[in-house]
Amino acid sequence: MGKIKIAIIGLGNCASSLIQGLKYYSNHSDGLWHFKVGGYKVEDIELVAAFDVDPKKVGKDVIEAIGYNNAPKKVELDRLNIEVKPGLIKDPLPLALRELKELKVNYESKIMDELKSNKVDLVLNCICSGMDETSKIYAGLSLDANCSFINITPSRIAKDPLLAMNYENGKLCLVGDDLISQLGGTAFHKGLMKLLNSRGLKVVKSYQLDVGGGPETLNTMDEELKMRKREIKTKSIKKELDYDINLTTGTTEYVEFMGNNRTSYFWIEAKGYLGSSVKIDIYLKTNDSENAGNILLDVIRATKYAKDREIYGAVNEICSYGFKDPPFPKGIEEAYQVFSSKFLTCEIDK
């Protein structure tokens, strides 16, 4: 009941769009997908703590810190009087962080104290992808501080059975992994597959090429990370079909001047009547951080509602709706229906 107190770890582009949305949707509704989730409105979400390692951001007010990102700035924001505290690093640095000098880090105990003293309900892990050990330690700290944890990065956190069990035993929720954008390349590709399949066509092969200019795209120029993301996206898209196809997706190119925008190119070949061929060759242009906004607002509210209802551990209905790599994946339509029946129709008014 009451407010949903959140802490954000990683004040990057996604955090910027989320924080702008928190203010904008406290008195607007255009562009907002779900007015209430689990009975909670957007205005029920309150940011109370924030962490980063970028020396430009640490020590600053959250609003000043998010100004350093290349996410679009659409909403006029006043200072929140929340100082960005230093986080921690337990992995080799991803490409975007290697450019920064003297990263700011802190002891684990200090981070936990900060979460406890602010009575945080849930922690949102928005750090760079590829920092698996760091994300795992944050998840452990969050558990010890009695906070639920949302992992939007591709690191295996909600998919880690031991962590999920520990969260369940601790009567807390753990959701992830790797946020699925509202209409990003993966969701769009899944939708196209589903449409072709439902119209009786057999998809034979397909590829998706992504070009973007945010720091996260730069990070995925690392070959190992690129392959990992490719594997997650491929698996997620193939989930829409009950047969195998020749699919390559997630290959990324970094073009700095694109900023936080992304262009995804799709090529699909399907076969139909008498072997006739249907080909799709299209592109989709989106903004990464804004594409994450609605899903973030939804999973934050659903996670709090799950905890209120004593549904603990890795909450499958939230994971499969909001993430590309959940513990138990579902097709895009089924995932939405299950999420909707549990979190969008509840009548509780908080």
Ligand X SMILES: NC(=O)c1ccc[n+]([C@@H]2O[C@H](COP(=O)([O-])OP(=O)(O)OC[C@H]3O[C@@H](n4cnc5c(N)ncnc54)[C@H](O)[C@@H]3O)[C@@H](O)[C@H]2O)c1
Any contact of residue 153 with ligand X (CB under 6 A)? yes
Min dist CB 97 to ligand X, Å, is 6
Judged by beta carbon, residue 153 or residue 249, the one nearer ligand X is: 153
Nearest to 186 by CA among 111, 264, 122, 118: 264
Q: In angstroms, what CA-CA distances link 228 with 192, 233, 236?
A: 23, 9, 13
Any contact of residue 142 with ligand X (CB under 6 A)? no
String of contacts with ligand X for each residue 167-186, x by CB under 6 A: -----------xx-x--x--
- Among residue numbers 22 through 61, which ones bind ligand X (CB under 6 A)? 51-54, 57
Min dist CB 102 to ligand X, Å, is 13
The two three-digit tokens of residue 245, written as one number = 């196809």
Any contact of residue 127 with ligand X (CB under 6 A)? yes
Min dist CB 86 to ligand X, Å, is 8
**Rounded-to-integer distance, Cα 20 and Cα 41, Å:** 15
- Residue from 37, 42, 48, 69 touching ligand X (CB under 6 A): that is 69
Min dist CB 233 to ligand X, Å, is 10
Q: Where are the alpha helices (DSSP H) in 7-127?
A: 13-24, 62-66, 95-98, 108-117
The two three-digit tokens of residue 117, written as one number = 């003293």
Any contact of residue 236 with ligand X (CB under 6 A)? no
Judged by beta carbon, residue 184 or residue 327, the one nearer ligand X is: 184
167 neighbors 313 (Cβ within 8 angstroms): yes
Count residues contacting ligand X (CB under 6 A)? 36
Interacting span for ligand X (CB under 6 A) from 7-15, 189-197, 266-274, 331-339: 7-15
DSSP 85: E
Any contact of residue 215 with ligand X (CB under 6 A)? yes
Residue 203's H or E segment, with its range, is strand 202-212
Block residue for tokens 């597959």: 193
Judged by beta carbon, residue 38 or residue 293, the one nearer ligand X is: 293
* Cis peptide upstream of residue 244 (ω within 30 degrees of 0): no
- Residue from 4, 5, 7, 10 touching ligand X (CB under 6 A): that is 10
Any contact of residue 292 with ligand X (CB under 6 A)? yes
DSSP 92: P
- Residue from 13, 118, 249, 303 touching ligand X (CB under 6 A): that is 13
Q: In angstroms, what CA-CA distances link 344 with 162, 312, 314?
A: 30, 19, 19
Q: Where are the alpha helices (DSSP H) in the chain?
A: 13-24, 62-66, 95-98, 108-117, 132-144, 161-169, 185-198, 215-219, 223-238, 288-308, 316-322, 332-339
String of contacts with ligand X for each residue 248-287, x by CB under 6 A: ----------------------------------------
Interacting span for ligand X (CB under 6 A) from 148-156, 163-171, 204-212, 266-274: 148-156
- Among residue numbers 85 through 124, which ones bind ligand X (CB under 6 A)? 87, 89, 96-97
Nearest to 143 by CA among 119, 114, 165, 172: 172
Any contact of residue 216 with ligand X (CB under 6 A)? yes
Identity of residue 76: E
Length of the chain: 350
DSSP 214: S
Which residue sits closest to ligand X, CB atoms considered? 12
Applying CB under 6 A, which residues contact ligand X? 9-14, 51-54, 57, 69, 87, 89, 96-97, 126-129, 131, 134, 152-154, 178-179, 181, 184, 214-216, 288-289, 291-292
